Structures are given as C-alpha cells and as structure tokens.
Structure 1
C-alpha cells in the first residue's frame, strides 16, 4: 500500500511539473473554463493548451464536461487550490530566505569595506 501511495504521489507531482499546467490550474481555480477561454487568457496556442489539459485529465486532476460543442474544464478536487496556495507560500519562504542571505552578504561586504 505504501508503495502504491508513493507512486500515486510521484505521478501526481509529475503531472504538475509543467509551467503551463500550473497556469491552467490557477485559472481553473478561479472558475470553470473552456479551451478557448484558457487559450485567450494564457496567450498560448490551442493545441498547447489542449495537450496540457489532456495530461491533467489523464491524471484525474481536471475533468471536462461537454456543453453543446464545447468542453468546460474544472478542477476535479478543490484541494488543488490549497496545494497551489501552499506552493506559493513555499516559494515566498524561499524568496525571503534568499533576500535575507543577500542582505547579510551585503552587510558583511560593507563591514569589510569599512575596515
């Protein structure tokens, strides 16, 4: 069971490992959208958006619902929104650490110049 869970997690994070897929998920977190809407907002070709949606769909991260001649995409699990938020917080923490190190480096450099 543990191995199956680890494999699921690995496959899940692999599916999230493309910047365009992350952008699509961020947009779907704001509300359901079709390919044309996503394409317009992102500024990418429809084929690129469709390809990334296909990957997300194959991993059950998004679902598509047919409405007339369009497919409307939505997040399969709203907890994806939380995951994206946590990822942003982790990024911010890394950024704060980098800025702190840079400030310390600059302070040390100025101290050495004054001596």
Structure 2
C-alpha cells in the first residue's frame, strides 16, 4: 500500500527543512553551479555541502553531471524555483504582519518591558 499524499508532502517538506539545502536550491534556481561555486556562496565545509547535496539528489530535486574533475548541479524541475518564490512571498506577508503588530504595540505603549 502506498503512503498517503499528505505523508509524502510532509517528507518532501522535511527534505527542504535545512538552511543549506534551501540556499543550494536558491543558487540552482538561478543557473547550474559547480560544487566549488556553491562552496563559496554557502559557506560550509565541503563534507557538509556534499552531505546536503546527497539528500537533494536522493529526493530527485537536483541532478549532477561531471565535467572533468568538476561536478555541476542543476534543478530537476523548474517548479522547485517557483516553490521558493512562493515561500518568499508568504514569508514577506507574515513578516509584514508581524511588523505591523509590533508597530501597533509600540504605538499603544502597552509593549511589555524586557526582563531585567
């Protein structure tokens, strides 16, 4: 028996649930990148980047190709880039709402003082 769709979706979002993996997908949303390029942009140790790329490969979100000694990665589906754009839009809305709430609290003078 196959897993319910909601369970598969949860696994998909777990795969996305790491900052390094999100950053890699953002970079690959722009264009193909060599691992060496991503290392400079992501700022983690090579072994850690390799581990995160392996997770993305197993999930079929990225594909690798070797060119000489360099390994280049690309997205398997452009909809991954679209998903990141939608997530950014949702977060922008959430943060704007929080900023408004904070401004209202400050304006009303009922903001709670930080603990001493």
TM-score, scaled to structure 2: 0.86
Deviation at 1:41, TM superposition (A): 1.6
Deviation at 1:2, TM superposition (A): 8.7
Partner of 2:100: 100
Superposed, which structure 2 residues align to 1:32-111 within 5 Å?
Answer: 32-109=32-109
TM-score, scaled to structure 1: 0.87
Between the aligned partners of 1:82 and 1:2, the Cα distance in structure 2 is 27
Deviation at 1:71, TM superposition (A): 1.8
Secondary structure (helix, strand or coil) at the match of 2:4 reads: helix
Question: RMSD in angstroms over aligned alpha carbons?
Answer: 1.7
Partner of 2:22: 22
Higher helix proportion, which one? Answer: 1
Between the aligned partners of 2:46 and 2:3, the Cα distance in structure 1 is 37
Deviation at 1:45, TM superposition (A): 1.1
Listed one character per residue, the Cα deviations across residues 40-69 of structure 1 (whole Å, up to 9, x for unaligned) are: 122211111111000000000111112222
Deviation at 1:12, TM superposition (A): 0.9
Is there any run of 5+ residues in structure 2 with no aligned partner, and where? 111-116
Is there any run of 5+ residues in structure 1 with no aligned partner, and where? 111-115
Secondary structure (helix, strand or coil) at the match of 1:72 reads: strand
The number of aligned residues is 110
